A and B are shown apart, each in its own frame.
Chain A
């Protein structure tokens, strides 16, 4: 049986701002057999999405297929005129986007968009298409399958939209489906259910899949084979087991290593006076209601303690209030109840009223280095400002300090004249950390600082933070949705759910979380073991088992 997808020596080029042509895919060849799930894995910029998109004969604006063949079911998508490609899209090859929330047209009801492929290609009468869509909704375990299609996209949750996007791809009975990071935007507990739905449906219909992801553990659950891409070239391609157990290429090994972080040398918990003590903190949005509390409470009476030289992790999914809590501690969002003690003294709820020294000692590092660093300023100016502002450093003294800060975060000194836009994601995050260090703080609040980074880069940043802690005796409050990151660095973990603190655990006790939500959360984190997803109980059972036990 000949493979359904045959890519031969594929080259994709792009035009840069200066009008130069650059090769972004440099001769990729691979096959996907009928019914096989092939995963493309790699960091951002590796070309994994670009290769996957060529299966639809599509290259994003500014890019074009410059050479090679992309045969889908025997037809070379690269050579076809645009009209012919359009006839194949949706019928033979379909696409599931990274963000279904953006890919659904806000002005059209969901059902119309799901069955649009059957209208465009005149596959079946609308009535039949609707029935088929409802069947797919059911198969993808969507709630209320008979009526969910009547809604508009903004009336449906992210996880549901992602499954609806899969239904939209499957309605035309394609032979190949391209999944473009379809679960990246989802919370872990949702991701499990969506992954499971994808796996069941594609397996049942024996659809060949190209699954693009940066997450090796997710890919391990769904892929038969894995292709590792870097810099527009294939580094390694093999069965899932081979890649996981016998990685050949150094980059693949790096990826795997990032999954097994070096264990954190736990600090000895002492009874010293706490550095930060948060007591019954509540934070809300909106105008105060009748009871004097804001309309919406995002954080409800949370307490935590950070001791000198130790780290506390706050984990939770989107909407759990973890970032709001960090912002309240930093004085960005005023709390509406409770108090914050820092270094033995009470902190004002608003940063405006705090003393300059208090502001200096408590720094916050934000998730997106892109927006946390002013793109119009040089690295030198960015790092120099807190030095002047807090320590009055100028001229040569400031220059020397900037050099030593760059050394501390392992960045070359020559970067000081660059602007943030000229740095890679990991470098930007290091500058972000260096700016916090410039203040010489006692405590750094890290708000999802590794979430926007590739796995390998994120692991390096966490290592850097550990190293800085050893040298400078810092403490961190680490906010993340990613359990593995938190485990790698924290002495205590606080689990948040819907604004409340559900459980506080020290990692040694982590294996026995008591609260049902904690169990659900922890058990939802994908493991590198390919059999993990199949062996996992459905969400409801895991919740029940936990609450029963």
Chain B
């Protein structure tokens, strides 16, 4: 029995690796299926055929696509992310600090959202059917149903326009001291926390309710256990896998959320970099940013699966 856990985890990791391969394939080809080709885009429509041919050669565009894909992916493994079309800087250099900024934003959101959302999700499951539960449920449905930019604009309207507590835009370089930090991060973090928490509340609530409906919780009730004992001792340990899964999936919402939030608040993160790269059609930069996001998602989901395997009592 015990040997099953490592083999299950290994299996999960192999699947993650395979998925990553398929994803990188998809990313590469989605960004390479241009109507014109890269050389034309770079040089513009008015470029001479000779100039285009020369650039094609220089960029190895004459080679078959598969070969270019393999070279590209090999480069990724060596940390060579290529050179930006737009300003000829190494992609790695462009991304460096920006990635750190995005991670700060995501980390801060996680620290706030996870405890908040799990508390709300689990307590509303415990008191299901009550007014409290209904308010939480309706609020989460509301938040889930609107785009991030609506949450963001609402937050700006509320905190910056009506209440005038915070400035509407993140002013970077001003992040000194607590107030400075608050000014830079408050709006983006508030917006992201709303979205992430709503997802997490919904999923963790469902996970706990599902375990509360099992015969073993009924059995514990018939042994005279209190409501809190039913939830904390009997339901939660079994809901752990689904809850971790809920946390991971909700956090992956961050990946989509930051794209909007960084743009709207002009926050210098990797998502903003990517949106800008899209408007300049800077493909190497787009590809690298996309891979960062996909790896982030896979890390989250795989970690959740591994934790679920480890916490499954039947595999002990």
Contact = CB atoms under 8 A, between A and B. Distances in A.
Band of interface residues on B: 20 to 34
Nearest to A89: B224
Contacts of A102: 214-216
Given A90-B224, A152-B313, A97 B238 contact: no
A89 B316 contact: no
B225 to A, nearest CB: 6
Interface string B191-218: 0000000000000000000000011111
B314 A91 contact: no
A201 to B, nearest CB: 18
Contacts of A91: 224
Contact of B216 (A56, A95, A104, A117): A104
B219 interface: yes
B316 A95 contact: no
A99 B216 CA distance: 10
A87 B224 CA distance: 6
Contacts of B224: 86-91, 117, 120-121
A106 interface: yes
B222 interface: yes
B134 interface: no
A97 B221 contact: no
Contacts of B214: 102
A122 to B, nearest CB: 11
A105 interface: yes
A103 B218 CA distance: 8
B4 interface: no
A521 B224 CA distance: 39
B268 interface: no
B19 interface: no
29 contacts: A58-B221, A86-B226, A87-B224, A88-B224, A89-B222, A89-B224, A95-B219, A95-B223, A102-B215, A103-B215, A103-B216, A103-B218, A104-B216, A104-B219, A105-B217, A105-B220, A105-B237, A106-B313, A106-B314, A107-B238, A107-B313, A108-B234, A108-B237, A116-B223, A116-B225, A117-B223, A120-B229, A152-B316, A154-B314
Contacts of A88: 224
Interface string B5-19: 000000000000000
B215 A97 contact: yes
Q: Give 8 closest A-B pairs by Cβ, nearest first.
A: A89-B224, A107-B237, A102-B215, A103-B219, A107-B313, A90-B224, A105-B216, A90-B223
Nearest to B314: A154
Contacts of A103: 215-216, 218-219
B303 to A, nearest CB: 21
A99 B223 CA distance: 16
A97 B237 contact: no
Contact of B234 (A94, A105, A121, A152): A105
Given A97-B215, A99-B215, A120-B229, A105 B223 contact: no
A371 to B, nearest CB: 20
Contacts of B313: 106-108, 152, 154
User: Which of B215, B222, B226, B233: most chain A Cβ within 10 A?
Assistant: B222
A495 B19 CA distance: 50
User: Which of B214, B218, B219, B223: most chain A Cβ within 10 A?
Assistant: B223
Contacts of A107: 237-238, 313
Contacts, number: 68
B216 A116 contact: no
Contacts of B226: 86, 120
Nearest to A56: B222
A431 B156 CA distance: 64
A90 B220 CA distance: 9
Contacts of B233: 108
Contacts of B238: 105-107
Interface residues of A, number: 26
A87 B225 CA distance: 9
A105 B238 CA distance: 8
Interface of A: 56, 58, 86-91, 94-95, 97, 99, 102-108, 116-117, 120-121, 152, 154, 168
Contacts of B237: 105, 107-108
Contacts of A168: 223
A87 B221 CA distance: 11
Contacts of A95: 219, 222-223
B216 A89 contact: no
Nearest to B315: A154
Nearest to B313: A107
Contacts of A90: 222-224
Contacts of B316: 152
B219 A97 contact: yes
A108 B219 CA distance: 13
Contacts of B216: 102-106
Given A95-B223, A106-B238, A116-B220, 6 more contacts: A86-B225, A89-B221, A102-B216, A103-B219, A105-B220, A116-B225
A88 B222 CA distance: 9
A357 to B, nearest CB: 45
A168 B224 CA distance: 12
B222 A120 contact: no
A120 B225 contact: yes
Contacts of A86: 224-226
A295 B218 CA distance: 39
Nearest to A98: B215
A56 B226 CA distance: 15
Contacts of B221: 58, 89
Nearest to B233: A108
A27 B204 CA distance: 42
A404 to B, nearest CB: 44
A64 to B, nearest CB: 14
A360 to B, nearest CB: 42
Given A103-B216, A104-B216, A105-B234, A120 B223 contact: yes
Nearest to A117: B223
A154 B216 CA distance: 13
Nearest to A116: B223
A103 B314 CA distance: 15
A98 to B, nearest CB: 9
A4 to B, nearest CB: 18
B68 to A, nearest CB: 40
A58 B223 CA distance: 11
B227 to A, nearest CB: 9
A54 to B, nearest CB: 12
A88 B237 CA distance: 26
User: Which of A87, A95, A99, A106: most chain B Cβ within 10 A?
Assistant: A106
Contacts of B314: 106, 152, 154
Contacts of A120: 223-226, 229
A500 B169 CA distance: 77
Contacts of B218: 103
User: Which of A58, A91, A107: most chain B Cβ within 10 A?
Assistant: A107
Interface string B225-262: 11001000110011000000000000000000000000
Interface string B283-316: 0000000000000000000000000000001101
A104 B221 CA distance: 12
A87 B223 CA distance: 9
